């Protein structure tokens, strides 16, 4: 197994009964038996009596729902923990409010070598601009400060932090008086995160894993790399996850490779793939996603960081080594480069080998019918974040500002991806958007563009089993005998089968079909509350089942 988690099971047998168990093995199941960290049996309440005498623990579910634990397929764990415990500007409604939070944070952390924060979004502020360096210098009292934009693809910094990276002014992405992007942004981010002590990193990682467990998340895909968090952060996270109970961590390292020696070095870090945020482009919010036509609100088309030749070489090397490859690609031109590169690699090493490797693409927002078809042809997994559409979609959202309403409506076409047979894995890109698995399922089912909506069941599957399949595991993310006992117990309202519209076949919403129900996620209704999260048979989060 490539997951990082401690040996959880102590050989005990646990019987959970008196609830609803979401399982394809029995759509009317009310009980489940866990033995040695795996699902041993799923069935009805009457049959559960036969297991009661042999159980070391019997859990009365009292009507609660049991589902597979969620997998968040795109996370930045340390940054998530820092946002949870430190300076998070995502709730600041104005520039003035953001600066007030910076002042308060600086005052509260007099010993920090560098102040770190994230989440600002000037497109939502009435001032319409990010804080200036002069304002940041005043708010911090002249201390080093790094503040990443909500999409984490640009940042504003104080003069004291710039002084720590004197060569930054000559790097691409540095424009005096504007947010840093590209190489300049990556350079200051490295300097900022290098100032964290090992203890600060570990505390942030623990906070993130603890919060994930409280939301019913059993696995995290850490998307790290030399431009994001550094090797020490990455290996420290994997070591912590192997030593302490909590969600599993699958680590991706975003670095181009050309041969087996380079792949071996990344394997030695503990990575399951040379993938994740291997940037083909940037983001729409920062005007760095690579487009085929210029932005609606800027006189350029973004920038490409990798071309088809780079992509082909990387995918071919990974495929030949039996290693997963993947890329970050958002704009339509970037996604075209990805499929052209992967297709070229397939011509070099064989299409069946490329398909079997389950290479993946993060975000995959600005797809066309042609690139969707290519994803299906090449068996590329689309690792997507429905909360992006909830946050930035719609006729007046950030997408429409950047692209115009017509192009914005094409983004995040989940229904088209599923119709074409493209595997989906759902995540958050936390801290870009919060860890919130049921919120993500809701956002996919109630997409702001109705034609892109998928059923709650389809989105739920993509957020559970889809995440495991994205790391090459077909035996997990579902409650059937033999599967790892990664599950969550939920307090929820009535269970229903929700389809995006009336075009879905009627049998799928009829109780007689035997389709397992899920909580009602209609916008405005309360989301389920996690009562217990179990990973490999060990409880990693619990609150009373009442």
Question: pLDDT tens digit string along 350-392?
Answer: 999 999 999 999 999 999 999 999 999 999 999 999 999 999 9
The answer to whether residue 193 scores a pLDDT higher than 90 is: no
Distance, CA of 233 to CA of 198 (rounded, Å): 8
Q: What are 326's two structure tokens?
A: 């993947």
Give the contacts of 414 (CB within 8 A, at least 6 positions apart). Answer: 384, 386, 424, 444, 447, 452, 453, 454, 459
What is the band of 10 on the pLDDT scale with cuts at 50, 70, 90? low
- State the pLDDT at residue 155: 93
Beta bridge partners of 298: none
Average pLDDT over residues 425-440: 97
- Cβ of 6: how many Cβ atoms within 10 Å? 14
pLDDT band at 2 (very low <50, low <70, confident <90, very high): very low
pLDDT at 501: 62
What's the pLDDT band for 7 if we cut at 50, 70, 90?
Answer: very low
| Strand ranges across the sheet with 31-35 | 38-43, 31-35, 13-17, 57-60
* Mean pLDDT, residues 480-492: 97
pLDDT for the residue numbered 375 = 98
110: Cα within 13 Å, side-chain hemisphere:
1
Q: Mean pLDDT, the chain, as a whole number?
A: 93
Say yes or no to pLDDT of 194 above 50: yes
**Quick one: tokens of 427?**
């995540």
Q: How far apart are CA 193 and CA 78, in angstroms?
A: 10
Rounded average pLDDT over 299-309: 97
Q: Which pLDDT score is estimated for 6?
A: 43
Are residues 115 and 247 in contact, defined by beta-carbon separation less than 8 angstroms?
no
Residue 3 has pLDDT above 60, yes or no: no
Average pLDDT for residues 444-470, to the nearest whole number?
A: 97
Residue 133 to residue 139: CA distance in whole angstroms: 10
Contacts of residue 524, defined as CB under 8 A and 6 or more positions apart, other chains included, come to none
Cα torsion 229, 230, 232, 233 to 10°: value is 10
- Position of tokens 């729409």? 284
Nearest by Cα to 424 from 363, 368, 370: 363
Rounded to whole angstroms, how far apart are CA atoms 9 and 39? 12
Categorize the per-residue pLDDT at 513 as very low, low, confident or very high, splitting at 50, 70 and 90.
low
Task: Indicate if the pLDDT at residue 1 is higher than 50.
Answer: no
Residue 152's pLDDT is what? Answer: 85
Mean pLDDT of the region 456-478: 97
pLDDT given at position 546 = 65
Range scoring the smallest mean pLDDT among 192-201, 213-222, 375-384, 501-510: 501-510
Q: Which helix (H) or strand (E) holds 338?
A: helix 332-349
CB neighbours (10 Å) of residue 305? Answer: 22
Of 8-17, 97-106, 288-297, the one with minimum mean pLDDT is: 8-17
- Looking at per-residue confidence, does 53 or 317 come out higher? 317
pLDDT single digits (tens) 399-430? 999 999 999 999 999 999 999 999 999 999 99
99 pLDDT higher than 80: yes
What local confidence, expressed as pLDDT, does residue 219 receive?
Answer: 98
């Amino acid at each position: 197994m490539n997951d990082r988690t401690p040996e959880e099971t102590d050989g005990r047998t646990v019987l959970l009964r008196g609830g609803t168990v979401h399982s394809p093995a029995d759509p009317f199941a009310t009980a489940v038996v866990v033995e040695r960290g795996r699902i041993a049996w799923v069935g009805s309440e009457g049959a559960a009596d036969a297991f009661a005498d042999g159980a070391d623990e019997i859990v009365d579910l009292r009507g609660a729902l049991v589902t597979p634990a969620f997998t968040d397929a795109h996370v930045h764990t340390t940054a998530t923990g820092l946002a949870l415990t430190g300076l998070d500007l995502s709730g600041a409604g104005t520039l003035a409010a953001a600066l007030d939070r910076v002042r308060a944070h600086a005052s509260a952390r007099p010993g920090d070598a560098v102040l770190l924060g994230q989440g600002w979004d000037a497109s939502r502020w009435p001032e319409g601009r990010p804080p200036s360096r002069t304002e940041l210098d005043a708010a911090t009292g002249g201390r080093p400060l790094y503040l990443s934009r909500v999409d984490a693809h640009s940042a504003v910094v104080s003069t004291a932090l710039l002084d720590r990276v004197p060569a930054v002014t000559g790097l691409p992405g540095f424009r005096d008086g504007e947010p840093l992007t590209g190489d300049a942004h990556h350079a200051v981010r490295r300097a900022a995160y290098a100032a964290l002590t090992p203890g600060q990193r570990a505390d942030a990682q623990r906070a993130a894993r603890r919060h994930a467990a409280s939301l019913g998340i059993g696995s995290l895909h850490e998307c790290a790399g030399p431009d994001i968090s550094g090797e020490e952060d990455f290996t420290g996270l994997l070591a912590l996850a192997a030593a302490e109970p909590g969600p599993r961590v699958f680590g991706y390292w975003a670095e181009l490779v050309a041969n087996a020696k380079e792949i071996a070095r990344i394997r030695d870090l503990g990575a399951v793939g040379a993938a994740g945020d291997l940037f083909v482009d940037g983001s729409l919010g920062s005007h760095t996603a690579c487009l085929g036509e210029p932005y609606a609100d800027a006189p350029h088309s973004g920038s490409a960081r990798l071309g088809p030749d780079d992509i082909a070489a990387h995918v071919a090397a990974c495929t030949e080594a039996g290693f997963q490859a993947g890329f970050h690609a958002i704009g339509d031109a970037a996604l075209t480069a990805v499929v052209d590169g992967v297709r070229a690699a397939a011509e070099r090493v064989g299409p069946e080998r490329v398909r079997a490797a389950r290479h993946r693409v993060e975000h995959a927002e600005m797809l066309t019918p042609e690139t969707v078809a290519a994803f299906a042809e090449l068996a590329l997994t689309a690792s997507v974040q429905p909360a992006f559409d909830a946050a930035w979609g719609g006729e007046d959202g950030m997408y429409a500002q950047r692209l115009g309403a017509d192009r914005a409506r094409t983004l995040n076409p989940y229904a088209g991806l599923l119709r074409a047979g493209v595997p989906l894995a759902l995540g958050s890109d936390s801290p870009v958007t919060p860890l919130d698995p049921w919120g993500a399922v809701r956002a996919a089912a109630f997409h702001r563009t109705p034609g892109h909506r998928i059923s709650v069941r389809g989105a739920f599957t993509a957020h559970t089993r889809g995440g495991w399949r994205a790391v090459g595991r077909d035996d997990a993310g579902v409650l059937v005998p033999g599967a790892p006992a990664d599950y969550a117990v939920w307090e929820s309202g009535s269970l229903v089968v929700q389809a995006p519209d009336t075009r879905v076949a009627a049998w799928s919403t009829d109780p007689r079909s035997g389709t397992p129900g899920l909580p009602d996620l209609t916008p405005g209704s309360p989301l389920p509350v996690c009562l217990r999260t179990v990973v490999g048979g060990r409880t990693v989060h619990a609150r009373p089942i009442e």
